[in-house]
Amino acid sequence: MISPKTADAAPFTPKHTYSTGTATPPIAQQLHDAANGYSMAPAIDPQLYHHQSLQHGFENMGLGENTTANTTMNAYDFTVGAPVNPYAQTGVDMFYQPQQTYQHPLNYHLYAPLAPYPQKLQPFQKNIHGFFLSDNLREELQKKIDATLQTLPAVSSILPPSIEEYHQLVPLDTSNQKSAQVFGYPSWAYKAFSSEDGNAYALRRLEGFRLSNEADIRIIQRWRKVLSANIVTIYDAWTTTKFGDSSIVFVYDYHPLSKTLAETHFGPNPRYPNPTRQHQPTGPIVPEQVLWSYIVQIASALKVIHSAGLAARVIEPSKILLTSKMRIRLNCCGIFDVIHPETTRSQESVRECQQEDLTQLGRLMLSIACNTPTAIQYPQKSMEYIGRHYSIQLRDSLYYLYTGSTKNIDEYVKSIANQAFQNFDSALHYEDSLESALSRELENGRLVRLLCKFGFINERPEYDHDPRWSETGDRYYLKLFRDYVFHSVDENNNPVVDMAHVLTCLNKLDAGVDEKIMLVSRDSMNCFVVTYKELKRQVESGFQDLSKSRR
């Protein structure tokens, strides 16, 4: 449960800043403040500013301790964040803005969207997507959370309630027909929660496996250190009899809602359906860009694995996970090294396995490009097909791989460097769009806290007889402000449901800006001109009063 104290978080107090580089406000601003009857906010002390603004972030999260004016931390103690003047040594720094002229603190009530801008809008236009995550991304993330938290009480009678530190097992397999094709043992995948850290993990169980030598499992310690964005990280392995047989279980990161490449390309609902459903290559359906992206990502994983003196040995369509948009990861790494330890005992056999990884990569990509898992059985036809529909670079690259002509991963990575750069560029574009999406959510947590305070204060029955809330009382504005924000009507008396208006008003209230608004009484007989600053003061004092009466 979130403590009600969270709403107690220190309010956001922007300070006046002026670009003259001095602490004195411009005359126009002084007149404006005087006319409004407000005293000046304290001038910025550069010694304090940086620390305060950092601290402010924590306070706003309801986590911080109060800062005091005696803080002695020097803003320039922070090497990161202090701007560097590139002209300082050359004597041509007159065009370089000194630090004091930056407008600090930032105007938190203003939204400044980050590129890329999907739609061109006029400066005064805003749409709801400018404030929140896109529906698609939100839905995807929410579904992932749902899948992570899902439990299946119905299976609790079939599966053990816990194994080692893991409990609440949920089967991940999409069918209960198990083949032993890949590992030689039927394998099962489960999601489970760890009681040590509360996180979800994927457990991979090989049914009927007996470990003959305890030392064989130690290789997992080496695999734990193999970290790559294209590998599902492994954590642990142990044998167990809790399933009613002798099984071995491997613990991996859980990636909710992932699909294997087999499910994606050859499953019942393939992403690029083969129109004839025959084991023959068909039309150029999988875009070449997708193929290169897979190749580059798998090559990147292999580079890390081979550099660690290991071999992947699971370049199989059913053992590669598509964990989000165009993101693939090698799954089940390390299992073969435990169940067939003989192949890891000499450098020569490891090298053979590494060579086999490259051949398997060629076979895998051949089958995906030809849209059929059996493409490798017709190498001639498949290559002709690829030659007809894809670039020469792709055709040659696959040919060298699956025929075993590529000597090692380093050589291969060099040969696909141009594709790796393209892939890198796409990844950076995607990162930009995610960062832009993140910035839209930035202020929303703050607004929720403000709304909570507002909810605590407004329309409390015990205020009914409080003179401060009566039509002549000083809190009356808050009531009218609530009407102004949420209950406006248009000229035809229809409700105005405008999220942008609500968010803009709340942001200005939170920042306590000097802007004035006109509030009209419910009977339209009176109107009041009041600043957000004044309203903010009233929200704070209303909330403080409530908090005091709580104690």
Ligand X SMILES: Nc1ncnc2c1ncn2[C@@H]1O[C@H](COP(=O)(O)OP(=O)(O)OP(=O)(O)O)[C@@H](O)[C@H]1O
Q: Distance between CA 370 and CA 270 in Å, rounded? A: 13
Contacts of 278 (CB under 8 A, 6+ apart): 372
Contacts of 437 (CB under 8 A, 6+ apart): 133, 134, 137
State the nearest-atom distance from the C-beta of 263 to ligand X, in Å: 6
Is 259 annotated as ligand-binding? yes
Site membership for ligand X, residue 255 (CB under 6 A): yes
Q: What is the DSSP string of 63-80?
A: -PPPP-TT----GGG-TT
Is 255 annotated as ligand-binding? yes
State the nearest-atom distance from the C-beta of 193 to ligand X, in Å: 13
**Contact set for ligand X, span 498-527 (CB under 6 A):** none
Q: Which helix (H) or strand (E) holds 147?
A: helix 135-149
Closest CB to ligand X among residues 160, 373: 373
Site membership for ligand X, residue 331 (CB under 6 A): yes
Q: Distance between CA 179 and CA 170 in Å, rounded? A: 19
Is 53 annotated as ligand-binding? no
State the nearest-atom distance from the C-beta of 320 to ligand X, in Å: 9
Q: Which helix (H) or strand (E) holds 207?
A: strand 200-207
- Are 147 and 175 in contact by the 8 Å Cβ rule? The answer is no
Which long-range contacts does 451-459 make (Cβ < 8 Å, 24+ apart)?
A: 451/506, 452/7, 453/7, 453/539, 453/543, 454/482, 454/539, 456/7, 456/543, 456/546, 457/539, 457/542, 457/543, 457/546, 458/482
State the nearest-atom distance from the C-beta of 442 to ligand X, in Å: 30
State the nearest-atom distance from the C-beta of 190 to ligand X, in Å: 9
Is 294 annotated as ligand-binding? no
Site membership for ligand X, residue 262 (CB under 6 A): yes
**Closest to 6 measured CA to CA, from 64, 51, 55, 56:** 64
Closest CB to ligand X among residues 232, 398: 232
The residues facing 170 across adjacent strands are: 191
Q: Which region among 257-265, 387-395, 443-451, 510-518 touches ligand X (by CB under 6 A)? A: 257-265
Q: Which region among 252-260, 307-315, 364-372, 534-542 touches ligand X (by CB under 6 A)? A: 252-260
State the nearest-atom distance from the C-beta of 177 to ligand X, in Å: 8
**Contact set for ligand X, span 153-182 (CB under 6 A):** 172-174, 179, 182
Binding string, residues 286-325; x marks residues near ligand X by CB under 6 A: --------------------------------xx-x----
Is 212 annotated as ligand-binding? no
- Are 193 and 210 in contact by the 8 Å Cβ rule? The answer is no
**Closest to 147 measured CA to CA, from 164, 166, 116, 172:** 172
Is 206 annotated as ligand-binding? no
- Are 457 and 478 in contact by the 8 Å Cβ rule? The answer is yes
**Size of residue set near ligand X by CB under 6 A:** 22
What is the 8-class DSSP label of residue 89? Answer: T
Is 407 annotated as ligand-binding? no
Q: Which region among 17-25, 158-166, 258-266, 454-462 touches ligand X (by CB under 6 A)? A: 258-266
- Are 40 and 94 in contact by the 8 Å Cβ rule? The answer is no
**Which SS3 state, helix, strand or coil, does residue 217 take?**
helix
Closest CB to ligand X among residues 236, 263: 263
Closest CB to ligand X among residues 16, 259: 259
Is 388 annotated as ligand-binding? no
Site membership for ligand X, residue 252 (CB under 6 A): yes
State the nearest-atom distance from the C-beta of 93 to ligand X, in Å: 54
Site membership for ligand X, residue 276 (CB under 6 A): no
Site membership for ligand X, residue 285 (CB under 6 A): no
**Contact set for ligand X, span 216-235 (CB under 6 A):** 232
**For residue 286, what are its two tokens?**
């999988």
State the nearest-atom distance from the C-beta of 234 to ligand X, in Å: 10
Q: Annotated binding site for ATP, which residues?
A: 204, 253-260, 318-319
Footprint of ligand X (CB under 6 A)? 172-174, 179, 182, 187, 189, 202, 232, 252-255, 258-260, 262-263, 318-319, 321, 331
